[in-house]
Structure 1
Amino acid sequence: MNAPDFMSLEKLRLADRPLIVCDVDEVVLEYLTPFTAFLRSRDHDLLPRSFRLHGNIVERGTGSVALDAVVDALQEEFFAAQEHWQTPAALAVETLMALGRDADIVFLTAMPPRHAEARRRLLQRIGLTFPMVATEAAKGPVVHALHGGRPLPVAFIDDIHYNHRSVGESVPDALLVRLMANQVFLAMAPDPGERVCCATCWNEADRLIRAHFQGVRRS
């Protein structure tokens, strides 16, 4: 991981209680739905043909698949304008606020750190002031660095299978919870693996996390 990401970790101070590490896009904030609206405002569209962006973003007038460089540029523009487009996923804010009374919560968002301040402002505007780490590095080593092998329960929430694989390898005792707001693309998502608990909504994620915390305390 590059230095700016580790420097942000050094500032975090966890309490002597469970830890929840939570992704942001498609978990806390809607991403695919507002991104599709953004694309249409830029004469492009996102077609739900497979679980990926590249190859599924097309020009609206011609139907031609957008070049990878164009997709990257559109994503960059969207991240810069995210505060005007993204909204909370259903039940995300109230569930996290309740969980935050019993556990430390850290947002781990896979985005260029140069857009972190805009994301921080957006999360604070909806009442979520928990610490945030923005990195494009693998998430497993980040969670390991955060948790540090403490004898306390840890849960990881994300929508992407390879992030669960990374965290599962780096923090074997972590509870892995898949949660994704967009149901259309969720139906095309790869199987995250047998270790991952698939939640259909934030209420179910809440139950899984609290059961895990109770189970670790009893063992």
Structure 2
Amino acid sequence: MIDNDSGKVRGAEPAVPSEPRAPYSERPIARARRAKARELIERLVVEGRVRIAEPDADEVAEWRRVIDYAKRHGLEPAGKRIEKVPDSGPGLELFLAEGAHPNARNQRPKAAGAPVPVPSWLGRLHPVVAALKDSESRLVMPSALRRRSLLLLQGLAAEAVRRGYEVRKTGSFLSRREGGVDIAVSSFAYTVSAWQEFPESTNPERAARLGAVRAITADWSVCIEV
């Protein structure tokens, strides 16, 4: 019932203003990731190397997010960067390398990267991409996304070969949901990988999204549409 004097609905509870949503940095997931990143840095400084034995796909993905968090938020010690020990066998072994990564923003070329043409069919594959296609332990995702990932990687591999670079089987530790290649430019091998970004999402649009590491180096800058 409306009160004729006040114009308010009698008996209605006063509206309670909703609390503002906490910034991402203060949400539980971000706080947990920050704590894990700081703990990793402390261990690397003290121990030199940190090994995570036999991580499953979810653990690999989470460690990648933790390392990315540390890099994006400036948690790495000055003049050092987190890297994976190459050819460290099963598991994940990390250490602090000297100097800025060649892919760091201040090392990137200023000119925008040229778009790389992506093929429309899986034919005449580079041997490394063909091996990924035949592997049952890489790019574990819905078939349509797997095909898109292979097309993206083939496009990059073909462009790398055209420019005179070497395409190799990646030495980086990737999860089963991910697949990639190493592109050797000058004296450094750059890993380019693709993965299903939201594999657990029930939203069809989010579940169909691919994530991809782009190749941006001092000698080569390219971009791809995912």
**Greater percentage in helix:** 1
Alignment TM-score > 0.5, same fold: no
TM-score band by shorter chain is: under 0.3
Q: Which has the higher contact order (CA 8 A, sep 6+)?
A: 1
